[in-house]
């Protein structure tokens, strides 16, 4: 771990706006007396590994990256912490939708049918929905044919292309139902991807949390404390910081919590994505 006074954060470059976002946050932190820099990674797997090689002090992690970091830390007798998250990261749900003019009205109707999911590593469009089916007695690959729409592996579903492709496949009659986060279902309705009235929700998952700032083992406590203090001090009505909040999709930062990852933890085990010590298990995972 670097011993300089600069706090170094990792983030995944899932879209061009990521540079704009973190350049803005860097300026904000430095204006407020916290030397700050960031490192961009092409995928979450390398970012989590960088947390254990001493490259970064903390990471802006997906929920799946949090699960892996926590498992790796526990296996090594170390600790990572979720110190902050967005207000929009809390209590989310995914939905399974079918065509409104089709015969699928419930999960039971999916037996023997084809379900479209997102990328292999998407918590919201693959892992959690497949776990929801499993808890309802339907196992993907056994009771339901699963068609995966892999887009940008390693981004953990941050890129919504897989969900959009699955939605388009539903409209085209290529799958009988598909999975997506509730917010994207609403968004696809608003942008015309899923015309109004074209789909019905046949199931909703339980609530779960999304991204968080995860500290690396041995991260400098005083600098992390200052970082969190400055985050929580950001206000929507502050003209200087509001554009950053808008870009990052929140109105307020909240203290981190881990109680919202139980569904994903179970899904990771059931779908055999990570081992208990954070090793990647699917042989066909490309990132």
Does residue 279 lie within any of the structural domains? no
Same domain, 146 and 165: yes
| Angstrom distance (rounded) from CA 224 to CA 208 | 25
Does residue 81 lie within any of the structural domains? yes
- In this predicted model, what pLDDT tens digit does every residue of 210-222 receive, in sequence order? 999 999 999 999 9
Same domain, 223 and 84: yes
Q: How many CA atoms lie within 13 A of 3 on its CB side?
A: 0
Distances (CA, A) of 198 to 127, 169, 221, 278: 25, 13, 51, 40
Its domain, for residue 49, covers: 7-89+209-270
Same domain, 222 and 199: no
Domains: count for the chain: 2
Strands (E), 1-126: 7-12, 36-41, 58-61, 82-86, 94-99, 114-117
Residue 179's CATH number:
3.40.190.10
Same domain, 197 and 112: yes
- Residue burial 242-275, b: 16+ Cβ < 10 Å; e: rest: eebbeebebeebbebebebbebbbebbeebebbe
Same domain, 99 and 164: yes
Sheet holding 7-12, edge to edge: 36-41, 7-12, 58-61, 212-215, 82-86, 253-255
- In this predicted model, what pLDDT tens digit does every residue of 231-256 receive, in sequence order? 999 999 999 999 999 999 999 999 99
Same domain, 137 and 153: yes
Comparing C-alpha atoms, which of 166, 211, 225 is closest to residue 44?
211
Contact between 119 and 88 under an 8 Å Cβ cutoff? The reply is no
Same domain, 77 and 100: no
> Along the 287 residues of the chain, how does pLDDT read in single tens digits?
444 799 999 999 988 999 999 999 999 999 999 999 999 999 999 999 999 999 999 999 999 999 999 999 999 999 999 999 999 999 999 999 999 999 999 999 999 999 999 999 999 999 999 999 999 999 999 999 999 999 889 999 988 889 999 999 999 999 999 999 999 999 999 999 999 999 999 999 999 999 999 999 999 999 999 999 999 999 999 999 999 999 999 999 999 999 999 999 999 999 999 999 999 999 999 99
Does residue 190 lie within any of the structural domains? yes
CB under 8 A, 24+ apart: contacts of 248-254: 248/21, 248/86, 249/86, 249/88, 250/86, 250/87, 250/88, 250/89, 251/87, 251/88, 252/86, 252/87, 253/84, 253/85, 253/86, 253/87, 254/84, 254/85, 254/86, 254/87, 254/89, 254/90
Q: pTM of this prediction?
A: 0.95
Instruction: Supply the pLDDT for residue 15.
Output: 87
């Amino acid at each position: 771990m670097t011993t300089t006074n600069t706090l170094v954060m990792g983030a995944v470059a899932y879209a061009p706006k990521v540079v704009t976002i973190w350049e803005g946050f860097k300026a904000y932190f430095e204006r407020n007396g916290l030397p700050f820099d960031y490192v961009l990674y092409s995928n979450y797997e390398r970012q989590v590994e960088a947390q254990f090689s001493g490259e970064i002090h903390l990471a802006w992690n997906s929920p799946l990256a949090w699960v892996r970091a926590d498992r790796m830390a526990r296996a090594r007798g170390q600790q990572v912490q979720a110190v902050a998250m967005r207000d929009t990261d809390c209590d989310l749900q995914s939905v399974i939708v079918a065509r409104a003019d089709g015969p699928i009205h419930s999960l039971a109707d999916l037996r023997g049918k084809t379900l479209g999911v997102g990328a292999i590593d998407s918590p919201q469009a693959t892992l959690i929905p497949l776990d929801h089916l499993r808890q309802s007695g339907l196992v993907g690959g056994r009771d339901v044919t699963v068609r995966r729409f892999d887009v940008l592996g390693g981004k953990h579903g941050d890129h919504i292309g897989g969900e959009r492709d699955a939605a388009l496949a539903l409209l085209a009659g290529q799958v009988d139902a598909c999975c997506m986060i509730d917010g994207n279902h609403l968004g696809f309705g608003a942008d015309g991807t899923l015309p109004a009235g074209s789909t019905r929700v046949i199931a909703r998952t339980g609530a779960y949390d999304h991204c968080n700032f995860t500290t690396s083992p041995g991260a400098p406590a005083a600098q992390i404390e200052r970082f969190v203090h400055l985050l929580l001090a950001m206000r929507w009505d502050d003209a200087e910081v509001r554009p950053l909040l808008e870009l990052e999709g929140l109105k307020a930062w909240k203290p981190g919590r881990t109680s919202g990852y139980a569904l994903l933890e179970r899904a990771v085990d059931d779908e055999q994505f990570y081992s208990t010590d954070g090793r990647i298990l699917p042989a066909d995972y490309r990132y």
